[in-house]
């Protein structure tokens, strides 16, 4: 399969995408033109996907300003806030766009082809979503740790507090969950979860943080009980939808996913240098 061939008949035109690239110091595409190619009414409606791409750049520790550059641009006599996008930025935006749009599904297949994942481009979108949500969890884990300390948690009691959340959600301690999934002691189970399970854990952590603040929870034991209860609440929701969190499949190490994405970034740069 060549780079410009897609596995099915679609509306997205790879040749058109390549033709719209601009060479000026580096190869880039205008975000406003990308939004049109993806079937969006305007650039504003693509902003959520752009924001998600920015989050992924942050999580990968790749410079945002080398890949997404905001710049005023005159279109039909009106000045808009447009963005110059690297190929990798286009890739991340496409993978975070609305898959219900035929143009988006087609563009995802095209970019997955370039990234060497054409055999299952849907997996590519989930891997990127995993990186996105895992990064959000890291931020909120820092926030809940701060809330724990401010609420009078014991100096060395944060591990017990963390374990309480897992115990409530998984009906087992974190050590038991690691053993169940064959995960090293030093690694977080979060690094091997799919996007759905990560989202559930993000909800558990954010709701625990909110409850500590809103109900003025104080003291180690009360904090542990609060976290465990929030875990139980999430477990109940998942159970009602027919899924228990511990039964969800283990996924590729998030560290390996990040390495692959960084490699894709490097390969895309090489591709554009050849043009």
What secondary structure letter does DSSP report for 250?
Answer: P
**Residues linked to residue 83 through DSSP beta bridges, in sequence order:** 70
User: Cβ(43)–Cβ(51) under 8 Å?
Assistant: no
CA angle, 31 then 122 then 138, to 5°: 75
The helix (H) or strand (E) run that includes residue 126 is: helix 121-150
Contact 163, 225 (CB under 8 A): no
- Other CB atoms within a 10 A radius of the CB of residue 16 amount to 11
Among the residue ranges 30-39, 73-82, 178-187, 214-223, the one predicted with the least confidence is: 73-82
- Helix (H) / strand (E) element for 78: namely strand 78-85
Residues 131 and 261 sit within 8 Å (Cβ to Cβ): yes
pTM of the complete model? 0.89
- Domain positions in the chain are 14-114, 124-258
Tell me if 57 sits within 8 A of 68, measured CB to CB.
yes
Tell me the two tokens of residue 141.
């884990």
CB of 118 closer than 8 Å to CB of 1: yes
pLDDT at residue 5 greater than cutoff 50: no
pLDDT of 9 over the 70 cut: no
Q: Of 212, 210, 228, give the one whose Cα is nearest residue 161.
A: 228
pLDDT over 80 at 86, yes or no: yes
Question: Which residue's structure tokens are 């279109």?
Answer: 75
Q: Is residue 112 pLDDT above 90, yes or no?
A: no
How many helices (H) and strands (E) would you count in the chain?
A: 11, 4
Which stretch of DSSP H or E encloses residue 23?
Answer: strand 22-23
Q: Does the structure show a pLDDT above 60 at 60? A: yes
Q: Are 127 and 250 in contact (CB under 8 A)?
A: no
Tokens found for residue 269: 């740069």
Mean pLDDT for 192-207 is: 98
Within 10 angstroms of residue 255's Cβ, the number of other Cβ atoms is 10
């Amino acid at each position: 399969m060549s780079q410009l061939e897609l596995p099915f008949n679609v509306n997205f035109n790879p040749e058109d995408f390549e033709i719209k690239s601009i060479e000026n110091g580096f190869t880039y595409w205008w975000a406003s033109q990308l939004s049109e190619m993806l079937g969006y009414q305007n650039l504003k409606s693509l902003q959520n996907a752009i924001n998600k791409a920015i989050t992924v750049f942050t999580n990968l520790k790749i410079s945002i300003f080398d890949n997404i550059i905001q710049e005023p641009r005159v279109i039909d006599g009106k000045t808009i806030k447009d963005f110059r996008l690297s190929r990798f930025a286009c890739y991340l935006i496409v993978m975070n766009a609305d898959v219900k749009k035929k143009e988006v599904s087609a563009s995802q297949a095209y970019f997955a082809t370039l990234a060497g994942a054409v055999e299952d481009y849907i997996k590519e979108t989930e891997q990127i979503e995993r990186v996105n949500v895992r990064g959000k969890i890291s931020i909120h884990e820092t926030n809940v740790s701060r809330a724990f300390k401010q609420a009078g948690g014991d100096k060395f009691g944060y591990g017990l507090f963390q374990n309480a959340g897992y115990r409530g959600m998984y009906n087992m301690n974190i050590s038991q969950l690691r053993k169940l999934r064959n995960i090293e002691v030093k690694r977080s189970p979060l690094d091997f979860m799919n996007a759905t399970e990560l989202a559930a854990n993000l909800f558990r952590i954010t709701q625990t943080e909110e409850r500590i603040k809103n109900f003025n929870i104080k003291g180690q034991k009360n904090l542990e009980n609060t976290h465990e209860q929030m875990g139980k609440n999430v477990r109940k929701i998942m159970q009602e939808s027919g899924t228990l969190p511990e039964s969800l499949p283990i996924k590729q190490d998030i560290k390996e996913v990040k390495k692959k994405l960084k490699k894709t970034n490097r390969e895309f740069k090489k591709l554009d240098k050849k043009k």
